[in-house]
Structure 1
Amino acid sequence: MARNDALDAGELTDTSFYILLSLLEARHGYLIMQTIEEWTDGEFTIGPASLYTTIKKLLKAELIELAEGSGKKKTYIATAAGRELLKSDVERRRRMIRHAEEVWQEKEDVINEA
């Protein structure tokens, strides 16, 4: 599936997942990037170009919105639809991990022989 189609299919890319997760409370762009980097101990970073491209997509899909009284900096927050999609995507990712663990366990002998 093309990355552009992920939101249309009701799935989040890793970038949109982390941005939406960070917007469970209102944040501006730079704080979104900082928060994600802190949460992941620097393992996942988002640059400004990716951040604002993804924010535009999330706004268009009505998964986030401008927060009230955001002042000089644009501040965003997840909408109810965004929170629901995030919740659904977390469950989808849990199933993916469960499938991987099951397959890994089934194939453990083969994997250990390699």
Structure 2
Amino acid sequence: MDEHIKKVYVPMSETAFYILLCLRKESHGYGIVQKVEKLTNGEIRIAPGTMYGSLAKMEKDGLIRFVREEEKRKIYVITELGETVLQMEMKRIERLYRNMKEVQHAYASTKIL
């Protein structure tokens, strides 16, 4: 993997993470916005400018690819490189979560009430 890609995308922003996660299935920008709002119970709302800027950059970097146009909407899907980057980020997040739980557990077991 290109060092530029690692440097830019790992660790990645929540926006980039959710875009790649959603593009495991073909979608357009507005579909991604709706899916992310649903997944996060409205906590994360990706603005149109952010969405389309991110899609353009990810396409240029080879993480996603344009599939077709439907009703004036561009449909994208994740590429093999994008899946690799997403897997790296998911492993990083899993490690963070695991470490947090270990520290929480260690703290809870030594806490004097």
Normalised by the shorter chain, which TM-score bucket?
0.7 to 0.9
Is there any run of 5+ residues in structure 2 with no aligned partner, and where? none
Distance (whole Å) between structure 1 residues aligned to residue 103 and residue 41 of structure 2: 29
Distance (whole Å) between structure 1 residues aligned to residue 17 and residue 9 of structure 2: 14
TM-score by length of 1: 0.81
CA deviation after TM superposition for structure 1 residue 10, in Å: 3.1
Distance (whole Å) between structure 2 residues aligned to residue 20 and residue 39 of structure 1: 14
* Aligned counterpart, 1:96: 96
CA deviation after TM superposition for structure 1 residue 107, in Å: 2.3
Contact 2:29 2:51 in 1 (8 A): yes
Is there any run of 5+ residues in structure 1 with no aligned partner, and where? none
What is the aligned residue count? Answer: 107
* Aligned counterpart, 1:35: 35
SS at match of 2:69: coil
Give the CA RMSD over aligned residues. Answer: 2.1
**1:50-99 CA distances to partner (integer Å, 9 max, x unpaired)?**
111211221122101101x3232111110011111111211110000011
TM-score by length of 2: 0.81
